[in-house]
Structure 1
Amino acid sequence: MVFTDYRRPSSYRQQKDSSSVHRGALVLTTNHILQFAEKYGKIFSLRIFGPRIVVLDGYKLVKEVYLQQGDNLADRPMLPLFYDIVGDKGLVASSGYKWKQQRRFALSTLRNFGLGKKSLEPSISLECTFLNEAISNEQGRPFDPRLLLNNAVANVICVLVFGNRFEYSDNDFQSLLKNINEAVFLEGGICALLYNMFPRLMRRVPGPHKKVFSLWREVIDFVREKVNAHRVDYDPSNPRDYIDCFLGEMEKLKDDTAAGFDVENLCICTLDLFGAGTETTSTTVYWGLLYMIKYPEIQAKVQEEIDRVVGGSRQPSLSDKDNMPYTNAVIHEIQRIGNIIPINVVRATVEDTQIGEYSIPKGTIVTGNLTSVLFDKSEWETPHSFNPGHFLDAEGKFRRRDAFLPFSLGKRVCLGEQLARMELFLFFSSLLQRFTFSSPAGVEPSLDYKLGATHCPQPYKLCAVPR
């Protein structure tokens, strides 16, 4: 079953939305990148007042460069906006020795707490239960599920990082999630672009970029409070979460200041885990529910498989995944066509690097155009259509696709990929087991989107009717 995605009739069309100048500017930039690739080839560079950016287009080139030149593309460039917010701290913005030490520590610590293991499944399943109860309370009335999804997904990472979850009725936590959503949206705007071009000027003038700083300050203050609370009752013999483990590492490596094990870096690393572990996964589920109300035939087919494999007396489990190829295929197709990060987070060359016939100097910004990967017409049969068949073979069994790279690849591949995969399957299958989703009466579902730092649906409402 194939459904045309009218957001992208030919390439990646500009949304006709004049309500937001910065939104339109970003969509136009994405269109231009696709057009430039058609005109200038798979490798080209851009310079808009600021530093030169080398863009890689298409699955084969992105894979080749990110894997074969992985060590040479492991740094992050110093972008003024983000540097002024977090400096060279954290897991996302740092480079070199500090980044290697922090990534190693984060991966090993989160694995100890169940990342990628069955031991984490009960925490996710419990959150599925709370989410289902919250949706049931809407009693079939139209509502926007965005904040509930954010809260549910955030709670999974909160247990790993902070050691506890938050009630959906916690207004302070709801405000925090709203702040993160707004900051991420504004970071993709024209003011953020201008800030990176003209930082000295933009630091002095008013605009939405000032709001970005105030929003992140509030979020960082929240994280700092949690860190300070952990320091009061920290027991090195019984670490409860990532923060406790980091405090222990601070003591072990107090003489290795270059590794970044200090309180300020702990706050930024925690922010990175919390923010990155929430925004992309919840946005993917948000797209997923929108596609289910847009294409009820697919929703019904997913529910039939859930009923047949799981039934209604228990929640879906990760052990069911291999027996639910259609549901798995739908989730992968949502990730592909949802295209949450259209252009991969930029990287920087560690040293002079040869890419194809071009010599790329040290410190040059390089990025892979993930839109060109996830919609590569040489890799996908119907790239601009919502087609779960992309991930099914002739016998209806799930098939992996090499060009499925929503988490990127190489040295900077998303460290939360395993967690995101677990969450997407359990949240999505649990929701469709319990509810049938539809548009409010008289409302036609729209696939219009807004672009900030992530690619997200325009706010919408749905009705959730218990099954």
Structure 2
Amino acid sequence: MDFTVALFLMLTACISYLIMLYGKMLHKRGQLPPGPIPLPVVGNLLQMNTDSIAQSLIALSKKYGPVFTIYMGSKPNLILCGYETIKEALINQGEQFGGRGPFPMFCNNAKGNDMTFSNGDRWKELRRFIMQTMRNFGVGKRSIEERIQEEIQFLVKQLRKTNQSPFDPTLIFSQSIANVTFSIIFGSRFDYEDKTFQTIINTTNENFHIMSTTWGMMYNIYPEVMDYLPGLHKKVFANFGKLRVIIQDTIKAHQETLDPDNPRDYIDVFLIKMEREKNNSTSHFFMESLIMTIEDLIYGGTEIVATLLRYSLLVLMKFPEVIEKVQEEINQVIGQNRPPANEDRKAMPYTEAMIEELMRFTDIGPLSLPHLVMQDTQLKGYKIPKGLPVIPVITSVHHDPTLYKKPEIFNPANFLDQNGCFKKNDALLLFSAGKRSCPGENLARMEIFLFLTTLLQNFNFQPLSSREDINLTPVGGAVENLPQPYQCCAVPC
């Protein structure tokens, strides 16, 4: 057969196949909530700003409503905007919307053996085990609060060593927050100069940065293709590999020194559980799930709080009047002679309001991790089929002018009543909502309060430029809103 004829036939076959796939896409689209018409292969990607996906989706919701369909490549996703819509789905219909949707960059590493990205009985069992272990961890030993207070003193000591010279808080904040989680996982904290510790922190920070770029977004949309292409996404899986080796070595050391009657940490408790269920063929407690739940705890228990702390400091330097009010409350309730305690929160309404506002304003998780529809249901009059991935747009809640007055402005008064008392607002979704809310929310809130109050009790943080020049516009946006890189000076009070 002539080569030209063969090439023509091949191209015709490929085009016919693409037309058939596109026809199936359009047919399925007709059975889903409305949305912009997708193009073959790219879907609706050309209608979104990859630097601000959440804002692009909010703009589309003004045309299509709070429930609409977007195609990421050839795959449909249900988009939810607005507090009432997200509440109806994640809370009122928690069973129907309680699955975890695909997130290939994590899922292709965990392969269903973790807690965060698993579904069904495995997710339920592992989540219950993790939450119970965290709750019971301090029984007969130091409490988690004591561990946090101890770690903060190491951070204060490190900041004093800067001698008021400019420093970048990224690494040191990540190390300090990570040590709280690591003391629970591994049984002890790491020295900040420890090479293994630095490897964990650096690879974790690098992975979140890459995932928040276009590289991360493209991998999550086209994993089958991106696996064969070079790029930064390859670095993510190399970093996963480095962390895996460290975790495996640590588990091996624990196995050699394990005392079933005196568990030291999360690894010991999990190993004991594995031994008890070794004859249960359906058990979800095996070596691979131990490794992957440790990765869950490292990524989930470090990055959110560390990023929020770093972003909060940048925001507060732009609003020194807020710092003054918080420091006044610290002096009245705590003083300078003892470290802050979690119990102090009840007597510090302005500080509590400031922290809630920092969570809202920084909006570090603009999009929730994808959910998955677990059974056919209805939402806002639309039929929603089982198996459809769901993306709640958290930014649409945190920046809703009907919920927060002038949401583009940082204002702790959003969480204060007319008498200056703290006012809780359920429309704060940093930790998501419903069955898939973050299991470490209580720990994270305690950390944020203790870290911020202790830092402001001991230091005045000064920017290297005028407050007017501080840029609060986030970078990233595909996974996290990250603060602009900055340096500051820690001046002892």
**TM-score computed with the length of structure 2 as normaliser:** 0.87
Q: Which amino acid aligns with 1:457?
A: P
Alignment of 1:148-187 (within 5 A): 148-187=172-211
Q: Which amino acid aligns with 1:65?
A: A
Could you tell me how far apart the structure 2 residues matched to 1:303 and 1:100 are? 42
Once the 2 structures are TM-superposed, how far is the Cα of residue 78 of structure 1 from its aligned partner?
3.5
Q: Which residue of 1 aligns with 2:27?
A: none
1:114/1:34 CA distance change after superposition, 3 Å: farther
Q: How many residues align?
A: 443
Once the 2 structures are TM-superposed, how far is the Cα of residue 38 of structure 1 from its aligned partner?
0.9
Q: Percent identity?
A: 38
Instruction: Answer whether contact 1:25 1:190 (CA < 8 A) is retained.
Output: no
Instruction: Answer whether contact 1:333 1:391 (CA < 8 A) is retained.
Output: yes
| From 45, 63, 69, the counterpart of 1:45 | 69
Q: Which residue of 1 aligns with 2:309?
A: 285
Q: Which residue of 1 aligns with 2:453?
A: 429
Q: Is 1:99 matched with 2:123?
A: yes
| From 321, 328, 343, the counterpart of 1:297 | 321
Q: Is 1:345 matched with 2:369?
A: yes
Q: Which amino acid aligns with 2:130?
A: A
Q: Which residue of 2 aligns with 1:391?
A: 415
| From 452, 455, 479, the counterpart of 1:453 | 479
Instruction: Answer whether contact 1:349 1:364 (CA < 8 A) is retained.
Output: yes
Offset from partner CA, 1:415-438 (integer Å, 9 cap, x none): 000000100000000000000011
Instruction: Answer whether contact 1:191 1:208 (CA < 8 A) is retained.
Output: yes
1:349/1:431 CA distance change after superposition, 3 Å: same
Could you tell me how far apart the structure 2 residues matched to 1:142 and 1:81 are? 35
Alignment of 1:29-428 (within 5 A): 29-114=53-138, 119-428=143-452
Could you tell me how far apart the structure 1 residues matched to 2:62 and 2:142 are? 45
Instruction: Answer whether contact 1:76 1:94 (CA < 8 A) is retained.
Output: yes
Once the 2 structures are TM-superposed, how far is the Cα of residue 257 of structure 1 from its aligned partner?
4.0
Once the 2 structures are TM-superposed, how far is the Cα of residue 442 of structure 1 from its aligned partner?
5.9
Could you tell me how far apart the structure 2 residues matched to 1:296 and 1:442 are? 11
Which is worse superposed, 80-89 or 160-169? 80-89
1:409/1:442 CA distance change after superposition, 3 Å: closer
The alignment partner of 2:475 has SS state of strand
Once the 2 structures are TM-superposed, how far is the Cα of residue 228 of structure 1 from its aligned partner?
1.5
Q: Which residue of 2 aligns with 1:7?
A: none
Once the 2 structures are TM-superposed, how far is the Cα of residue 358 of structure 1 from its aligned partner?
1.2
Instruction: Answer whether contact 2:366 2:479 (CA < 8 A) is retained.
Output: no
Q: Which amino acid aligns with 2:473?
A: D
Offset from partner CA, 1:66-88 (integer Å, 9 cap, x none): 11211122222334333321111
The alignment partner of 1:458 has SS state of coil
Q: Which amino acid aligns with 2:246?
A: F
Once the 2 structures are TM-superposed, how far is the Cα of residue 388 of structure 1 from its aligned partner?
0.3
Instruction: Answer whether contact 2:103 2:370 (CA < 8 A) is retained.
Output: no
Could you tell me how far apart the structure 2 residues matched to 1:93 and 1:312 are? 44
Offset from partner CA, 1:137-188 (integer Å, 9 cap, x none): 0011111111111111101111111111011122331232111011012123
The alignment's C-alpha RMSD in Å is: 1.7
The alignment partner of 2:405 has SS state of coil
Could you tell me how far apart the structure 2 residues matched to 1:259 and 1:342 are? 35
The alignment partner of 2:482 has SS state of strand
1:25/1:214 CA distance change after superposition, 3 Å: farther
The alignment partner of 1:354 has SS state of strand
Once the 2 structures are TM-superposed, how far is the Cα of residue 441 of structure 1 from its aligned partner?
5.1
Instruction: Answer whether contact 2:49 2:56 (CA < 8 A) is retained.
Output: no
Instruction: From the CA coordinates, give the structure whose radius of gyration is larger.
Output: 2
1:462/1:395 CA distance change after superposition, 3 Å: same
Offset from partner CA, 1:207-227 (integer Å, 9 cap, x none): 111111101111122122211
Once the 2 structures are TM-superposed, how far is the Cα of residue 119 of structure 1 from its aligned partner?
2.7
Instruction: Answer whether contact 1:161 1:243 (CA < 8 A) is retained.
Output: yes
**Unmatched 5+ residue regions in structure 1?**
1-23
Which is worse superposed, 76-85 or 183-192? 76-85
Q: Which amino acid aligns with 2:350?
A: Y
1:407/1:197 CA distance change after superposition, 3 Å: closer
Could you tell me how far apart the structure 1 residues matched to 2:213 and 2:264 are? 38
Instruction: Answer whether contact 2:340 2:450 (CA < 8 A) is retained.
Output: yes
Could you tell me how far apart the structure 2 residues matched to 1:193 and 1:144 are? 27
